[in-house]
Structure 1
């Protein structure tokens, strides 16, 4: 038992020393951010925007990159993988103010229900969040009305962000194969 206690003390000392060394190596900008993160005021923000999802035709924004050997016979398109680079807008109209892009990877990942495994990044290219991103990672049951997905991080203003998003299909035109997805995002981050 005595050896275990000595080992734990030495181990704790090593961990503490490496943490101090890592902090000492941070640049001045990183140190300032690090201090703000632990001492700063947490901000909760509600964002509301639309994703313009063009699934076919010229200038489409969603592309299939892979499928499993059962995708073509699966009622849920199981195993299909797509990448997307959709327009992010302030309103539901495709010509409304551009806020950025929704970029990511979606996989049809449920054998019984139409549901996606999503890795989606909201890349803001204008306004007060210009240069920042938010990342969604989770399961999206696409036929449900309101779909909740977690915000697992971000960059820029949203560094170390967390929260959740509620999405729903605002509209879908089967002739154009064009969908508009509405997002309401609740995100917590450190105000700089």
Structure 2
């Protein structure tokens, strides 16, 4: 699978969650949430000009296969999926289940998010909505969705980032940007 997915160290108690909330998670999504952490490993860079760490890579679902992401783009960008214990944390999440047979599994940076279908007619299908109740089918299951993700440069932290100037020192888990000599 994609290199941004991280395996869980401990087993997740899906059966307990389903009993507590009287809900049955779809089988493919259940497989995903059971085996993988719901968050990604983001890439940051130390900007040596001001000594701050900045994000420069993120994950997006891009229907037009973007290579770069701008904060004004109308694409689905997000930092993580919702972890199991938070899937039914808020009343609004329960309303999606009751009214649409969908459970929110992530949030969009501008509102809305991803949903997975719970009933026979939409089981395991992934839908997308932006601040509305208009759901767009974007994948047949979570793994198909993940296969369409792109790792892209985030334009809002680094304007015109030259990735050829990035390097890591031994034992560092972040990138550094080489200073340019004038």
Q: Of the two structures, which has the highest relative contact order with CA contacts closer than 8 Å and spacing of 6 or more?
A: 2
Question: How does the TM-score come out when normalised to structure 2?
Answer: 0.25
Larger Rg: 1
Return the structure number with greater strand share.
1
Question: How does the TM-score come out when normalised to structure 1?
Answer: 0.25
